[in-house]
Structure formats: structure tokens, C-alpha cells
Amino acid sequence: MSPDARRARPAPDQPPAFADARSKRAKVRAAGMDPDYWYPVAYESELPRGKTLATRFWGHPIVVYRGTDGSLHALADRCAHRQLKLSGGEVNGCHLTCTYHGWTYDGDGKVVHYAHDLFGRAQPEVKVPSYPVTSRHGLIWVFPGNPEQAGTRAIPGIPELSGDRPWARLDASYTWRAHHSMIIDNVSDFTHAYLHRRFRPFWDAKLTRLELIDDRVELSYDTFIGAGRFNCFIDRRKVDTTSIELAFDYPYQRSDTAGSIKSWCFVLPLDRRTTRTFFIFYFDMLKIPGTRRSLPRRLMPLFMRVAGALAIWPLLREDGAAVESEQLGYEIHHTAPIVELNPAVGLFQDLTIRKWEEFLDRDRARTRPSSIAAADGRIPPHR
């Protein structure tokens, strides 16, 4: 075996890359997410005017910056000159200037100014990839795939959060050291009620429906929703909390309890073992704890923060600890067999694998394959 081939092979104790994976489990834990969708990368509040924000999609560095006029731009986070991170640069107007030799990029990734002598040459035509970027629901969304596809994909609408009578909203975001598929498994697999036995967000769940429809897995449970600490905020005379509907609506996950308590979970696959999650929970009504009275809408944001601190953020941290531990377990024991009981998990994993294979097939057919497929979710040695 040539030294190059030896170097390309994963170490024997490393989980296999997608191309080398044989089992469904190894495939799903190595699969990326189809970049031809919109992915949230940060809250709008994380990126003030004139600032940059470094993120990644499946190991591929992206800089998002906000011009001094408020406009958003997203470029590959790599100066075309000596590969410095552009996120370390400076925003001037709608342009981004690399900190080293002062090459200035416009929002399309084209170098429009060189801050040094060009040695008698004409100004070279230099460009780095740029990505469609927009904002919605208080989040910044990037389309990391083929930009021509961006117009064909929609960011999920959440009509309940706008209009005259917006629902109360609670946000939560975490960066977990776990593969995105473990998080998708976690949020819709209600067999893990035991983990949350202190908070009881759901209890005694029985799967009553499971269906794959195109790129969406829909499922329902009969279960008792919102017991434990959240109990005092829910008016059970008005909201039927005995069942829940969920969907892995690729690549997003959502839930709906009686049309009154809803959530979205958006994942950003940073690399093979790191995922940022963005949860949005929203509630049509809450009651004043200790009474039978509905909470006035103007007080709901305040109570949402209390409910978050008491009942939602702590349980999400339990999920985070569990999936991080699962990731660690997978990396150590990836050759050992596992037992999976919930049929919904099998469908989530089939969908994740199929969507990644479809993307790889599309990408191979392109004249210039994307660097996201080539990166294979690699963890860069230097962050």
C-alpha cells in the first residue's frame, strides 16, 4: 500500500467515513446533511452591523458579515491569497477586508481592492465562493449548497409568530459535540422519558402513527405532555395534552400538541461530531400558575423566560449531555452491535442516509463538485 493510500484510510479505531461505512448505523453517523437547504447559523442579535461571524457547514468554514448598512453577506471563510480566515478581517461598508495584506472582498466574494503594489500587473480577477444568506424568525440563514437551488427551497414559515396576536416564543440554542442524526433521533424518540424523569415533559408515550411521506417522517404519540415543572403553566381545560404530533420534515424537526404548543428544532451540522441546534418553542396560551386564569399576552414573554429557566432549558441540557455521551460511546464502540427498539428511529436514519446519498449523486454529476462533499465533515486541525 502506498504511503498516500495508507494516510487516506481512517485509523482502525476511528468510525468509518460515509464511503467506507457498511452498516446503517455507521452510514447514518457519517452522513452529512444535504446542503441544498437553508440552515440557520446564528441569531440575528449575534451579528451587529460592521461585524463578522465565523461558522461552518459540515467542516466547511463560512464567514457571515453584516455591512454597515445592515446587509448580510456570506463567503467562504478563506482568503484567496494566503488562506487566512476572512472572519478575522474588517468590515467597511458592504465589503470585507482581510487582515493580512488588505485584500478587500465584495458581497459576491470578488476581490475589489488590493491594499498593496501589484508589481506592474493588471488587477487580478480573484473570487472566493459566496452563499445566499437571509434572515427570518430572528435567525440568520445560509444556503450552503448550489446557489441556483436557493430560490427553490423555502425556510419554514411560522405564521403563529407574526401578525396581531403572535404566540409567546421561547428560544434555546446549544452547540453539542454530537452528530446531527443523534439529535434528530433524540428530539422525536420519546422512549427517553426516563432521562427527563425530574421534569417529565412527556411520559408513558405510545407510538400511534409512523409514516414516511416523501422527505418527511410523520409520527404521533399518545403521551402525557408537560407534566412536572411545566404543569403549572398549562391550562389543561383548554389544551388537550394527551397526544403529540411530530415530524422530521427534512432537514427540520417540528412538534405540535393540540395546535396550542408547537416547536421547531433546526440543526446546523458544523462537522462530523459537532452540531448547533436552534429550538423555537411557541405557545398559544399559558395560565397564571396557581390559578385558572389565562396569562395576559403582554406578560407571556416574561413568563416564557421563567418557564424556560424552570422547565425547558434544564431538560434540553439533559438531552445535550445524553447525545454528547452517545457520540463518545459511538466513537469508542462503533464496531459493537447496538439494539434499537423504536421503529421511528430507523425511518429518521433511512431518510438521513438517502438524502445524503442523493446529494452526493447530484454533486458527482456536476462539472465542479462542491467542496462540502469533499470535506466529508472533517474537523479542521485549527479552529
189 binds Fe ion, rule: CB under 5 A: no
Q: Which is nearer to Fe ion, 230 or 359 (CB)?
A: 230
CB 90 to ligand FES: min, Å: 12
Q: Judged by CB under 5 A, which of 319, 347, 352, 363 binds Fe ion?
A: 319
Of these partners, ligand FES, Fe ion, none, which one is at the site of residue 313 (CB under 5 to 8 Å by kind)?
none
Q: Phi first, then psi: give them for residue 317, nearest 5 degrees.
A: -65, -30
Q: Which is nearer to ligand FES, 130 or 327 (CB)?
A: 130
Measure the CA–CA gap between 205 and 208, rounded to whole angstroms: 9
Of these partners, ligand FES, Fe ion, none, which one is at the site of residue 79 (CB under 5 to 8 Å by kind)?
ligand FES
CB 89 to ligand FES: min, Å: 8
Measure the CA–CA gap between 297 and 294, rounded to whole angstroms: 9
Measure the CA–CA gap between 335 and 185, rounded to whole angstroms: 20
Of these partners, ligand FES, Fe ion, none, which one is at the site of residue 81 (CB under 5 to 8 Å by kind)?
ligand FES
**Contact at 8 Å (CB) between 152 and 298?**
no
Give 280's strand partners.
171, 264
Q: Which is nearer to ligand FES, 89 or 251 (CB)?
A: 89
Q: Which is nearer to ligand FES, 108 or 240 (CB)?
A: 108
Of these partners, ligand FES, Fe ion, none, which one is at the site of residue 103 (CB under 5 to 8 Å by kind)?
ligand FES
Contacts of 93 (CB under 8 A, 6+ apart): 67, 68, 69
Q: Which is nearer to Fe ion, 36 or 319 (CB)?
A: 319
Q: Which is nearer to ligand FES, 76 or 239 (CB)?
A: 76
Of these partners, Fe ion, ligand FES, none, which one is at the site of residue 304 (CB under 5 to 8 Å by kind)?
none
Q: Which is nearer to ligand FES, 49 or 82 (CB)?
A: 82
CB 180 to Fe ion: min, Å: 16
Of these partners, ligand FES, Fe ion, none, which one is at the site of residue 98 (CB under 5 to 8 Å by kind)?
ligand FES
By Cβ distance, which residue is nearest to Fe ion? Answer: 319
CB 299 to ligand FES: min, Å: 51
Binding string to ligand FES for residues 108 to 127, with x set by CB under 6 A, is what? Answer: --------------------
CB 127 to ligand FES: min, Å: 14
Of these partners, ligand FES, Fe ion, none, which one is at the site of residue 319 (CB under 5 to 8 Å by kind)?
Fe ion
Q: Which is nearer to ligand FES, 22 or 116 (CB)?
A: 116
Near ligand FES in 92-111, by CB under 6 A: 98, 100-101, 103
Binding string to ligand FES for residues 44 to 83, with x set by CB under 6 A, is what? Answer: -----------------------------------x-xx-
Measure the CA–CA gap between 140 and 145, rounded to whole angstroms: 16
CB 73 to ligand FES: min, Å: 17
CB 50 to Fe ion: min, Å: 39
> SS3 string of the chain?
CCHHHHHHCCCCCCCCCHHHCCCHHHHHHHCCCCCCCCEEEEEHHHCCCCCEEEEEECCEEEEEEECCCCCEEEEECCCCCCCCCHHHCEEECCEEECCCCCCEECCCCEEEECCCCCCCCCCCCCECCEECEEEECCEEEECCCCHHHHHHCCCCCCHHHCCCCCCEEEEEEEEECCCHHHHHHHHHCHHHHHHHCCCCCEEEEEEEEEEEECCEEEEEEEEEECCHHHHHHCCCCCCCCCEEEEEEECCEEEEEECCCEEEEEEEEEEECCEEEEEEEEEECCCECCCCCCECCHHHHHHHHHHHHHHHHHHHHHHHHHHHHHHHHHHHHHCCCCCCCCCHHHHHHHHHHHHHHHHHHHHHHCCCCCCHHHHHCCCCCCCC
Q: Note the residues at the interface with Fe ion (CB under 5 A).
A: 319
Q: Note the residues at the interface with ligand FES (CB under 6 A).
A: 79, 81-82, 84, 98, 100-101, 103
